[in-house]
Structure 1
Amino acid sequence: MAGTDSSKYEGFTAEERAAMKDHAQEQKKAARRASAAEAAAEAERDVVEKIAGMKDSDRLMAERVHTLITSNVPALAPKLWYGMPAYALDGKVVCFFQPADKFKARYATLGFNDPAKLDEGEMWATSYAVTELTPEVEARIVEVVKRAAG
């Protein structure tokens, strides 16, 4: 590719490698679960435990986002996805909460994957930076997640 120096590529960051390891463990754990009800309950516990282990600012925000989504969009099932709290419809991740600390980012992110029904013309947002959860931001999160879930 013109204009790139491939000798500078240093591979995945430690955070990216950790996320891939998290995902592999999540897949193995999910495969071992016996029933759908057991899987759902265990997946929810996994999400709550992951949130509890976050640093304060990320944890407080993730706890509130988790409550907003599970209370207002019950069709979405909590699960871990690459070590992040995520919410799935029919097993496919619709949205996820990426804590700022996960990839040493400036802010936490509420992100959406392809199954999210957010299409608006030729261009639309697939992630939102979240720096504070005001009542207005919370209302917007509920509105966007409801729309994404269809």
Structure 2
Amino acid sequence: MASGEQGFSKEERAAMKERAAELRAEAKRQKSADKAAADLQAVLDAHAAMTEEERAVAQGLHALVLEHAPVLAPKTWYGFPSYADADGKIVVFFQPGSKFGGRYSTMGFQDAAQLDDGDMWPTSYALASVDETTSPAIVALLKKATGQAE
């Protein structure tokens, strides 16, 4: 590397290694008769590895996705609890703030999410809690992202 160039951070390299491991594990699970159960377990394991506060938020989001966006299937993506469409494309994911030393966790949407609104729209949201105040907005985003918006 040339002097002054920065490579990937330790956290970024770890995330890439996690993703490579996920891809290897996914290839093995595709041979398995119960891929959906294995993917769900990977999400639950990702929750278990989080701090208590982040776990509560991730589990709240997980419950909302399962209830209000049942077309999405749980799976991990770069170590994050994520939810994919029928084509296996990630629609929504949860990134715990501690993963990269952030001060808050994020609910993010990928290209498969149907959130387009003109020439500019948000694709990620800081998410500090999932409760009676935040749940309606989360559900509305999930429905819009999956084409269920009214």
Q: Give the alignment's TM-score, normalised by structure 2.
A: 0.91
Q: Distance in 1 between matches of 2:14 and 2:143?
A: 30
Q: Distance in 2 between matches of 1:91 and 1:17?
A: 24
% identity of equivalent residues: 47
> Given residue 129 of structure 1, which amino acid in structure 2 is its aligned partner?
A
Matches within 5 A, 1:1-150: 7-33=3-29, 34-35=31-32, 38-89=34-85, 90-150=87-147
Deviation, structure 1 residue 120: 0.2
Match of 1:3 in 2: none
List per-residue Cα deviations over 1:22-70 (Å, max 9, x = no partner).
Answer: 11011011111224x5111100001001101101111111111111111
Question: Which deviates more from structure 2 when the two are superposed, residues 114-123 or residues 37-46?
Answer: 37-46
- Deviating beyond 6 angstroms after TM superposition, the runs of 4 or more aligned structure 1 residues are none
Q: Distance in 1 between matches of 2:97 and 2:105?
A: 4
Note the residue ranges of structure 1 that are not aligned, 5 or more in a row.
Answer: 1-5
Q: Which has the higher helix share?
A: 1
List per-residue Cα deviations over 1:71-98 (Å, max 9, x = no partner).
Answer: 2111000000000000000200011000
Q: Distance in 2 between matches of 1:9 and 1:67?
A: 43
> Given residue 82 of structure 1, which amino acid in structure 2 is its aligned partner?
Y
Note the residue ranges of structure 2 that are not aligned, 5 or more in a row.
Answer: none
Q: Distance in 1 between matches of 2:108 and 2:3?
A: 32
How many residue pairs get matched?
144
User: Over aligned residue pairs, what C-alpha RMSD do you find?
Assistant: 1.3
Q: Give the alignment's TM-score, normalised by structure 1.
A: 0.91
